[in-house]
């Protein structure tokens, strides 16, 4: 029930955002992000002359056993050509104090990280943004959701 109320609150807050082009979340089965579970999000770009921010969203429980998260993200076009691929490390908790970062409700915390600023897609069409955890564990516990966001860059 607690997860459902947090999810509904996030949807209400997200629906009022005019800069958003695309945003979606995938909930992790049993709160584990498996090594072979690549999270992929597909979206449309209608104006390739526009610049965009690409973002990663994560929801974790306070029981997450690490202060950071390593993941690889990949941007592909509709022909499956890789346009961008990078390994990224982000902090979910303060490494010294253990205090959680992000916005929280109870023991759940939401994080949003910019992957690319002022990104320009080469053409109109369908693109995908995918995430793969790189924490050297087969299963990463207490990652509840992985999400992607594409928004208009402020001009």
CA–CA dist 39, 133 (Å, integer) = 9
pLDDT score of 136: 86
Mean confidence (pLDDT) of the chain = 90
Domain extent at residue 18 = 2-152
Write the burial class of residue 32 (CB in 10 Å: 0-12 exposed, 13-18 middle, 19+ buried).
Answer: middle
Element (H, E) at 139: strand 139-141
Number of H helices, E strands in the chain: 1, 11
Q: What is the pTM of this model?
A: 0.86
Under DSSP, is residue 141 helix (H, G, I), strand (E, B) or coil?
Answer: strand
pLDDT score of 89: 97
Element (H, E) at 101: none
pLDDT score of 9: 47
Average pLDDT over residues 23-52: 96
For 38-53, the pLDDT digits (tens) are 999 999 999 999 999 9
pLDDT score of 106: 85
For 145-154, the pLDDT digits (tens) are 999 999 999 8
- What is the total count of domains within the chain? 1
Instruction: CATH number of the domain at 118, please.
Output: 2.60.120.380
For 74-125, the pLDDT digits (tens) are 999 999 999 999 999 999 999 999 999 999 888 999 999 999 999 999 999 9
């Amino acid at each position: 029930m607690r997860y459902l109320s947090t999810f509904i609150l996030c949807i209400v807050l997200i629906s009022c955002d005019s800069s958003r082009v695309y945003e979606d979340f995938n909930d992790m089965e049993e709160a584990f992000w498996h090594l072979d579970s690549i999270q992929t999000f597909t979206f449309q770009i209608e104006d390739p002359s526009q610049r965009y921010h690409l973002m990663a969203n994560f929801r974790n429980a306070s029981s997450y056993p690490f202060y950071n998260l390593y993941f690889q993200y990949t941007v592909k076009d509709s022909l499956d050509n890789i346009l961008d691929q990078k390994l990224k490390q982000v902090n979910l908790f303060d490494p010294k104090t253990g205090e959680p970062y992000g916005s929280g409700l109870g023991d759940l915390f939401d994080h949003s990280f910019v992957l690319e600023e002022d990104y320009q897609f080469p053409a109109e069409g369908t693109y995908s943004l995918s995430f793969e955890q790189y924490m050297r564990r087969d299963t990463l516990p207490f990652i509840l959701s992985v999400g992607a966001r594409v928004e208009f860059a402020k001009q």
